[in-house]
Amino acid sequence: MIREKLVVIKGAGDLASGVAHRLWRAGFNIVMTEIPQPTVIRRTVAFAEAVYSGTTVVEGVRGRLVKDAREALWVATSGEIAVIVDPQAKVVGELKPQVVVDAIMAKTNLGTRIDEAPVVIALGPGFQAGRDAHAVIETQRGHDLGRVILEGEARPNTGVPGEVAGYTVERVLRAPDEGVFQGIKSIGDQVQPGEAVAKVGDSPVISTIGGVLRGLLHDGLWVTKGMKVGDVDPRASLKHCFSISDKARAVAGGVLEAILYLIRFS
């Protein structure tokens, strides 16, 4: 009975965390896998932050770092979300969950198989429904965001961030050089055009637009030139920094729909 409600989510970034939050509220037990040093930008709404801090809370739901599959199962069935450092998601074979969700958002399949669980769901491009997973969820903003795809693939990655208040690429902060990342501003701070919000080595990371700093990489990580290290929201609403995004909620709704549909007809 426990494993019938168990979901393993690969990845614990902001989209993955939106999915985890909705499934948790719907009564599922959640285990999330991550890499040893997550490069998540929207850390205030990502369970990946538990890798650094031990525990983290996203909209009232607590994520807790665990050391192995046994502890993961205990935490997941005790009312919290378990987060485990497990880049290859070996915990899937150990726990044998009812559902596996690939939410790594790598734009390619890094090893997810349709036979990993009774229900396998993948987010975004890089997967074919019916071959790699039982269902694929559309993650591109627009009319089909959150749509459940049972045959075929999601739209290909455009490489252009979704538009927010008329801005796309301008919203994204990128490393000007390679080196160690260090924040100057904090998530939730107001920023002005031309203001330095972080630095990579001795090189400043400059915001080209004004708004609120919605996301920022964890301090101390080594970054490469051009790597995404932050996100400025031109709507300048503080609450957006600490709440799950509309996109993540739409994708999460698609995952929940897919699970219920596939369980019903399996």
Burial class of 143 by CB neighbour count within 10 A (0 to 12, 13 to 18, 19+): exposed
- 181 domain residue, yes or no: yes
Residue type, 144: D
* Residue whose token pair is 């538990």: 50
- Count of domains observed in the chain: 2
Residue 211: CATH number of its domain: 2.40.50.100
Residue 10: CATH number of its domain: 3.40.50
Whole-angstrom Cα Rg for the chain: 18
Same structural domain, 41 and 115: yes
Please give the average per-residue pLDDT across 248-263, as a whole number.
97
4 has a pLDDT exceeding 90: no
pLDDT (tens digit per residue) in 111-166: 999 999 999 999 999 999 999 999 999 999 999 999 999 999 999 987 777 777 68
Provide the mean pLDDT of the chain. 95
pLDDT-above-70 percentage for the chain: 98
Task: Determine contact, residues 61/24, Cβ cutoff 8 Å.
Answer: yes
pLDDT (tens digit per residue) in 65-111: 999 999 999 999 999 999 999 999 999 999 999 999 999 999 999 99
What does DSSP say about strands 196-200 and 211-216: parallel, antiparallel, or unpaired? Answer: unpaired
- Nearest Cα to Cα of residue 43 among 67, 72, 12, 74: 12
Same structural domain, 88 and 219: no
- 239 domain residue, yes or no: no
Same structural domain, 71 and 128: yes
